[in-house]
A and B are shown apart, each in its own frame.
Chain A
């Protein structure tokens, strides 16, 4: 149950999703990946992508214009 952090500050879609895809391959099931972004569309796209691929995802706007996403690998 390790927690990983991925740096996607200032990146635009679709780079964050591709980076997440690559990072998730290294993770084991049940591991959590924490992502923080300042791009609203990126956070939305990541949540939709994660739900479509059956991962557990939690999205929170921690400050004005900053989103924190906790993604748990489920499969």
Chain B
């Protein structure tokens, strides 16, 4: 077992990606930039070894909370970023659609189902995709399941929306205003962080 240099593969892959980007640019610029964004996302995900499945699973199973803290940092960056983007868009009069959906009992049921699948498959949607790219064979089976599930979900979405749409949609910024809403969310996140740190200390004493 000798570690071979992968430089040739690297250069070849980069070249194909650039050519594909140029091709997409001819068809539609929007698609091309989405392609660049998804490449960047995938690269970051692979290099950072971030795993959403592990961030929810590890505190319970192995008592490690490193990834959970990483996830909280992501949300800490995301929430003000979301508010800034929204304000920037409204100031510049660019129409923006916020995909805010009502929260209810169905969120819990869906979350539990997704969580069971996620732990069994060894990764959430992005994690599975990233590891298929890395060449981990077992997750290719999970990818087939993921594609079937995503397709079924897409087809049956109007039906679910019809059933669960009577839940009142709560959008915090509409009730409290943007600044208090963002601050409240950040405070809640910091509280969760403290709880997780305490949880880790407790687990460490046990083992």
Q: Chain B: which residue is nearest A38 at the CB level? A: B136
Contact A14 to B66, CB < 8 A, known contacts A63-B1, A63-B3: no
Interface residues of B in 56-78 (CB under 8 A from A): 57-58, 61-62, 64, 66
B4 adjacent to A49 (CB under 8 Å): no
**How many contacts A-B (CB < 8 Å)?**
60
Instruction: Tell me which residues across on chain B come within 8 A of A28, comparing CB atoms.
Output: none
A52 adjacent to B64 (CB under 8 Å): yes
> Of B3, B51, B64, which is within 8 A of A41 by CB?
B51
Interface size on B, residues (CB 8 A): 27
The range of chain A's interface size is: 20 to 34
Smallest beta-carbon distance B55→chain A, Å: 11
Tell me what chain B mostly uses at the interface: helix, strand, loop, or mixed: loop
A14 adjacent to B49 (CB under 8 Å): no
The CA of A21 and the CA of B6, in the complex, are separated in Å by 35
Instruction: Tell me which residues across on chain A come within 8 A of B15, comparing CB atoms.
Output: none
Contact A12 to B138, CB < 8 A, known contacts A17-B62, A18-B61: yes
Instruction: Tell me which residues across on chain B come within 8 A of A12, comparing CB atoms.
Output: 122-123, 138-139
Q: A39-B136, A45-B64, A63-B3 are in contact. List 16 more A-B contacts (CB 8 A).
A: A10-B137, A12-B139, A13-B54, A14-B57, A14-B58, A18-B61, A18-B62, A21-B62, A41-B49, A41-B127, A44-B49, A53-B204, A62-B3, A64-B3, A64-B6, A66-B1
Could you pull out 9 A-B pairs where Cβ atoms are within 8 angstroms?
Answer: A13-B51, A13-B54, A14-B57, A17-B62, A40-B131, A41-B131, A45-B58, A49-B62, A64-B6
Report A's interface with B, CB cutoff 8 A.
10, 12-14, 17-18, 21, 38-41, 44-45, 48-49, 52-53, 61-66
